[in-house]
Amino acid sequence: MSNPIFRGAATAIITPMRENSIDYEAYGKLIDWQLNEGINAIVAAGTTGEGSTLTDEEHREVIRYTVERVAHRVPVIAGTGSNDTAYAIDLTRFSCEVGADAMLVVSPYYNKATQNGLIKSFTAIADASDKPIILYNVPSRTGCNILPKTAAALAEHPMITAMKEASGNISQIAELAALTRGKMDIYSGNDDQIVPVLSLGGQGVISVLSNVMPRATVNICNRFFAGDVAGSCQLQLDLLPLINALFSEVNPIPVKAAMAAMGYCEDILRLPLTPMEDANREKLLALMRAQGLIA
């Protein structure tokens, strides 16, 4: 695509919480820190932001607040996907109205869909949007894989311009790149595959790691784009132990623990998610100490 929504690293940002509410004071400070560290975009109320357990009112307010706090400094991408297409349409329309720059729309989960159902659902959502749509393929969480041929068909829609690819299947991502070249931007949805996806023509990453290390995540992308592929690769490999620790339990459990240790939020999640197990937490904190993130 000649005009990607962003190029580099976007943080799939956590939603700081209190016991029964959103901690907007902490959230605002976290957004400001991310921007000061040079992040290229912010994704609000996605998987890492616990969008699936936010109330409808909270979900909308988190998106509105993010747009207002970011204030056009970088693109804001709103997580508006749902297994209910009608709800996704309503949330997408709302996000357009409050000024989000793009939508991240996950494939339907639990009820899933056929490939034809995916085309009809995503098309209906895109028809309702006046902002670009990033499809989100994460079959390990949804049980529903957006196949490359399906993505290629959807790429014909003028509002469907990108894919966050978190299938983990590099062969599938290569086929996606081949079928959609020039029509759909690709973003890595896995922090351990940033460089491989960039090598296939990807525009960057929608990242969990960048919650904790935004500048380093941006640098992985910037080095690659500058032609320093070896340097980019080395940065990713150096951070691989920390990346693995951030996924040692289901996301966003570890990254919430990490951000709490850094003082950016309380370690509070919505059920059915629970705080990190002690053994995994100690490994994560040791790796964070090694990176100088905590004392």
Q: What is the pLDDT along the chain (295 residues), one digit of tens a residue?
A: 568 999 999 999 999 999 999 999 999 999 999 999 999 999 999 999 999 999 999 999 999 999 999 999 999 999 999 999 999 999 999 999 999 999 999 999 999 999 999 999 999 999 999 999 999 999 999 999 999 999 999 999 999 999 999 999 999 999 999 999 989 999 999 999 999 999 999 999 999 999 999 999 999 999 999 999 999 999 999 999 999 999 999 999 999 999 999 999 999 999 999 999 999 999 999 999 999 999 9
Q: What's the CA gap between 253 and 235, in Å, rounded?
A: 24
Which CATH number applies to 8-215? Answer: 3.20.20.70
pTM exceeds 0.95 for this model: yes
Q: What's the CA gap between 134 and 210, in Å, rounded?
A: 19
- Hey, which residues are catalytic here? 136, 164
The CA radius of gyration of the chain, in Å to the nearest whole number, is 18
pLDDT of residue 182: 86
**Residues 212/255, Cβ–Cβ less than 8 Å:** yes
pLDDT of residue 16: 98
Best CA proximity match to 12, nearest among 67, 93, 56, 77: 77
**Residues 49/62, Cβ–Cβ less than 8 Å:** yes
Angle between helices 85-98 and 56-70 (to 10 degrees): 30
Secondary structure of residue 72 in the 3-state scheme: coil
In the chain, where are the structural domains located?
8-215
